[in-house]
Every structure is written in C-alpha cells, then in structure tokens.
Chain A
Amino acid sequence: MTEKKRFEEIVECLVELKDTSELMIDLAYTSLMLDNKELAEEVHRLEENVDKLHTDFELLVLTSDFKKEEASGFLGLIRMGVAAEKIADAAAEIAEVVLRDLESHPVLKLAIKSAEETVAQACVTEGSTLVGKTLKEARVQEETGMWVQVIRRNMKTLRPKGDSRIQSGDVLIASGYSKGVESFRKLASPEQFCQVE
C-alpha cells in the first residue's frame, strides 16, 4: 500500500469518528429539546458505533508501520481519536437524561433554544417538492436555513447523507435559526400542516 493510501484510510476513519461524535452532540441536545426517546436511543446506538470505530481507528494507526521519527505525529492522531470518543460519551450522557425520564427542566429547553438555534420537525407530504429528491438536490438548507439532522422513516432513525432520497411520509428533524422554521414546514408539507407527535 502506498503511503498516501494508508493515510487516506486513517483520515477517513478519523473523519467518521469526528463527524459522528459531533452529530451525536446535536442529536443529544435535540432529543432533550423534543423530549424524544427515540432520538436519545439513536444517540446511544451511535455511541456503540463510535466505540467500535475508535478501536478500528487505533488499530489502523498502530499497524501503520510508522518510522520512529513519525511517532509523535501518530501519537497526536491517537489522542485526537481518544478525544472524539470522549465527546461521543458526553453526548450519550446528555441523551441519558431523556432516557432516564429525568424531569425536563424548563432551563434545559431555554438553554437549547436561545442558543439562537432551534429544532423543528416536519413530515413530508405527497405534494411536497422534496419527495423523490436526494437531500443534496432538495437544498433544504439553502431554501430555509434549516439543516436536516435526522430522517425518521417507519419508526427508524436514519442519518441523512447527501444522497439520501426523501420519501413521502418521512419525518425530517432539522435545526437552524427559528425564523426558518415556518418555511421549512411549508417546504415539507405545503398543503396542510402535518402534525408530528
């Protein structure tokens, strides 16, 4: 394996660790804000993924056959992985507040909301222009300023990627500035207001 290729594999794994841990923080706060157990459970599932991913990452780094003078740079990588895992743990702890049925203190909602960003969910109805489009094509963020964090489909929570195709009946959970909420809801359910429980 060429040196470049080997590094690409390590970086790919690190990027996934980093992205997943950051997604988990967003989801954890969202689960708290919506008092939503499914999302909180999803955070915990992701936490298990991160643990596996972290082990894979460390093994990749350790078996990468580095030279003595490169050891410090590889130690830096290992430490970064440990920190990402710690961030994921913290996210899981936030989700745990929801899973343990601890009282949702108004302060929590206040803190999440007035961080200027808010979370909204909307279900995608037949008449929506989003149906059949991939998330990338749908340009939800460009249109509404809201960023789709999660797609819920048939009780399952999906992590959205650029090529995820939106279906009618999907529930989209998005975060962004509160002024984007209305246009986001209209985009997903243009004809009627679709109540999400």
Chain B
Amino acid sequence: MPRFEKIKFKPIPVSELLIEMKNLSELMIHLAYSAALFNDKELAEDVIELEARVDTLAYLLDMQIMVAARDAKDAEALIGVSAVAAAADKISDAAADIAAIVTRDIGVHPLVSAIFEKVEERLSKAIVREGSPAAGKEIGALDLAARMGVDIIAIRRDKEWLIKPSGREKLRRGDVLITRGAPQGIKDFKDIAEGSLAQLEG
C-alpha cells in the first residue's frame, strides 16, 4: 500500500497550482512513453512519483477554489478552472498507467520498441556529478542543442521539478537532468554531466 499523506490547506495561488499541474502532466506523458517503449524502470518510477505530486496539487487546488467561491457567480467563474485541473489530473493518471506497464513488469513487445526508436526521441537521465564541467554553468552557455543535439527538458533538484528550464538556469551538483535527443548526443552529454568526460569541447 502506498502511503497517503494528509493534505493541509496551503495558501498557494490557484494559477501557480494549475501551472504546475499542467507542466507536470505534460512532462509525465513524455517520460511515461519513453519509459514504456525503452523499458526504463527508473523513468517509470519517476512518473509514478510525479503522479502522487499531481494528486496533491489537485487537492490543494480544489481547496483553494472552495475558499475562493463565495457565491453562485464565483462558482460559475471558477468551474472552468476546476474542469481544466481535473483534465490535467486525468492526463497524469494516464501517464502513470503507461508507466505501470514497466513497473508491473508487463513490458512492451521488443520489436515495437525497435521500430518506435526510429520515430521517437528517447528521453534519458543524467546526474550532474562532482567535478563535472557542466556543474555551475548556465544551460545556455553549454550550447547543447548546437553541440550535440541535446535538449534539457526538466531538472529534478532535491524534491522539486523544474520544467523546461530557461537558458539562464545554472546547473548544480546533484541535479538530475531529463534530456531529449539523438542517442549519441545523449550518451555524450551523460559522460559530461557525470564527469567521465572532462572537456566540453570536441
């Protein structure tokens, strides 16, 4: 049984909650398909964990909406927000269903993955290790897209997720990066992030 946390009201603006739900749910779709098609358990577990996060956000958002609605007019104004949040929650559920194909050891036929690999860019994880030339650098300065055709689509820093980080974001040691790109580029970048390749050039 998973542990269900008790959720207490927090005064976080509805817009912030909704943005996070939208961003997370979209990220989760990409992560989940990649996890299922390439049988990547780690990514799948991230998706399951994110699903719990989106659930928490959905509760918090509902509470905010309840507090904000004082009369019928308010309710009419807010019902659309509630419907969109519910849809984002549903999307994250669907992503978790896809991830469960991996975590429950059902798997996808390997021939399918092989064909899919040609049409789908694979997502991968890289951890910024001590001594990595990427640590302390702004993403923009790494010029990853031009150098190796790699894009950092999300960063996991401690318990927080930064989605579509801007070029100004500085990478820190311990950051878990979700990258997208061609297999060779992803591999090269992983070597850089994890410090086994000392130079960015080349």
Contacts and interface: CB of A to CB of B under 8 A. Distances in A.
A79 B106 contact: yes
A63 to B, nearest CB: 15
A36 to B, nearest CB: 15
Contact of B116 (A11, A89, A90, A96): A11
Interface in A166-185: none
Contacts of A82: 97
A104 interface: yes
Given A103-B77, A104-B80, A115-B23, A90 B97 contact: no
B109 A70 contact: yes
A110 B164 CA distance: 17
Contacts of A90: 87-88, 90-91, 94
A29 B83 contact: no
A97 B116 contact: no
30 contacts: A3-B111, A7-B115, A14-B112, A29-B22, A72-B106, A73-B110, A73-B112, A76-B36, A79-B98, A79-B101, A82-B97, A84-B94, A86-B90, A87-B91, A90-B87, A90-B88, A90-B91, A90-B94, A93-B87, A102-B76, A102-B83, A103-B76, A105-B80, A105-B81, A107-B18, A108-B18, A110-B15, A111-B18, A111-B84, A115-B23
Nearest to B14: A107
Nearest to A86: B94
B54 interface: no
Contacts of B108: 73, 76-77, 80
B95 interface: yes
Nearest to A6: B111
B183 interface: no
